[in-house]
Amino acid sequence: MVNTNAESDTAPSNRFRDSGRNWLRITTVRVVVQTVTFGLFLAFVSLTTFADLERLPRLRHWVSKLLEIDPLISITTALTTHTVYRGLLWSLIILVPTLFLGRFFCGWICPYGTLHHFIGWLFCGRQQRCTAANSYRPSQHIKYYVLVAMLMAAAFGVLQIGLLDPLCLLHRSLTAAAIPSLEYVAPRLFGDHRVHQGGWLIGLLLFGLLALNLVQPRFFCRVLCPLGALLGLLSRWAWWRIERDPSRCRGCDRCRLHCEAACEPQAQLRQAECFVCFNCIEDCPEDALGWARFPPKEHEVAGPDLARRQVVLAAVAGALVPPLVRTSGRSTRDFSSKCIRPPGTMEELEFLERCVKCGQCVRVCPTNVLQPDWFEGGVEGLWSPVLNFRLGYCQYHCTVCGQVCPTGAIRRITLAEKLGRGPFAESGPLSIGTAHIDVGRCLPHSHDTPCVVCEEVCPTSPKAISAECVVRRMPDGREVELRRPRVDIALCIGCGMCEHQCPVVGDQRAIRVTAEGESRSRRHPARDRNRSLRPT
């Protein structure tokens, strides 16, 4: 089974004899590995909940491992932050074997690729058993240009790889669209129904990308996937590869019937496209295909055949992304006061350099307050986590969102740091914003109606919301004692419980939390002048 470059290209070799019988079992092994990996990914997604992580605290270190092994996340965050995180060194689990075996991750491990493979088998089986459907197409170059553009954007400080990275894309789609849909259909089976802003679009993209398998099998993997493009570029140096013996091949094209990658095994194998699925070896009736070490270079096309001008154009497009997405100033000068980030989040620009929009923090949030950003933070922050206090509130004794973040965009803070206790007493608690009262909508202020909800639910000690007692004479002569609330901005941490529980209905609550005064940002220092007033 070992090839040497000294062998003749036309002489039969023992490495090809009986290869069909020997490799018949490897495709079964591959399907089993795909099934186990996909099931493991689904299990981690389903277990990424506050209740499960509280019940199994050691699980917090494992639920994000399938994202941390993603080499594209590791490389792009290193480009944006100039830092290689220790956790992301797990990506070597994928990178090192790729240098020996080729693009095996796409055909054996990737859960998103497995989903596309299953959808193609389920709905377009006849089409996949067609040599024309599995023929190489020039459109398969697109993913390399996407990769170049995203790497260039990352080099200039804008991280957008999470939009198309398969692991981030699948996790976000399950979190914001698939699982909530199942909860809506069968709440008794899947639990309480959670809602997510923009989830309809995330679900529509998932459905559309899966439907493209009707146009071309594994369309996303072949045409769009930037992670597959990265692994394809690395696989040109792979030691072990699929090789065709021309002396045995009769040109029947049976090897293309189930070729998942459309990598032309019947001719010169396109090494950068091959998923190492072994289907071609199993299908070959003449045992002309085998698995060899360092096959002759003339038997394959090692790297993608890219047009230099198009590569330059993709690089220029990627370099233009940072100035274009920041021209609106939504992430800098014109920062939206509605863009409230979780506690422990880095300063806004540093946060955007790390966040891959995977949705793990959104999934684990116990109150459903964390939502995919719907342009509150501008185009650059699309689908990054923001807080929507109409849907929930930041639980006072919860720091789990930082425990599952794979890139450190949300720091792993302790409860003492969040609440400003112990060694953090001098700096005070972390604040994500400040509550403001709209006296025109507040019941005691404008309607002369007693209400103490916001004061009662405020979790800080001492309370950030106090009340001023006043007596009002009603038109019928009755005297009503009212407690009119006021907010002490030196004590408010912006948890949003007051806004969430406010009984005033309509487009806006009578008390609302904005990003002013957040601890993480140097751009909203309103709290700094009052920090000395905080009790220790």
pLDDT tens digits for range 284-321: 888 888 888 887 877 788 788 888 999 999 999 999 99
| Least confident piece of the model among 31-40, 328-337, 410-419, 480-489 | 328-337
For 58-100, what is each residue's pLDDT tens digit? 888 888 888 889 999 999 999 999 887 777 788 999 999 999 9
Q: What is the pLDDT of residue 6?
A: 39
Q: What is the pLDDT of residue 204?
A: 96
Nearest to 390 by CA among 518, 510, 519, 521: 510
| Least confident piece of the model among 240-254, 313-327, 377-391, 420-434 | 240-254
> Cα separation of 277 and 458, whole Å?
57
Residue 127 has pLDDT above 70, yes or no: no
Q: What is the pLDDT of residue 70?
A: 93
Residue 125 has pLDDT above 70, yes or no: no
**Of the CATH numbers 3.40.50.300, 3.40.80.10, 3.40.190.10, 3.30.70.20, which one belongs to the domain with range 329-425?**
3.30.70.20
Is the model's pTM score more than 0.85?
yes
Q: What is the pLDDT of residue 513?
A: 95
> Cα separation of 62 and 275, whole Å?
27
Domain boundaries, the chain: 18-160+218-301, 329-425, 434-514
For 474-531, what is each residue's pLDDT tens digit? 777 788 888 999 999 999 999 999 999 999 988 889 999 999 888 886 554 444 434 4
Mean of the per-residue pLDDT values of the chain: 86
For 392-403, what is each residue's pLDDT tens digit? 999 999 999 999
Q: Which 3-state string (H, E, C) describes 325-364?
A: HCCCCCCCCCCCCCCCCCCCECCHHHHHCCCCCCCHHHHH
Which residues, in sequence order, are CB contacts of 494 under 8 Å at separation 6+? 340, 394, 431, 432, 433, 434, 435, 513, 515, 517, 518
4: confidence class by pLDDT, cuts 50, 70, 90: very low
For 148-197, what is each residue's pLDDT tens digit? 999 999 999 999 999 999 999 999 999 999 999 998 888 877 777 889 99
Same fold, 329-425 and 434-514: yes
273, 136 contact by CB (below 8 A): yes
| Least confident piece of the model among 10-19, 47-56, 182-191 | 10-19
Residue 535 has pLDDT above 50, yes or no: no
Top CATH class of 434-514 equals alpha beta
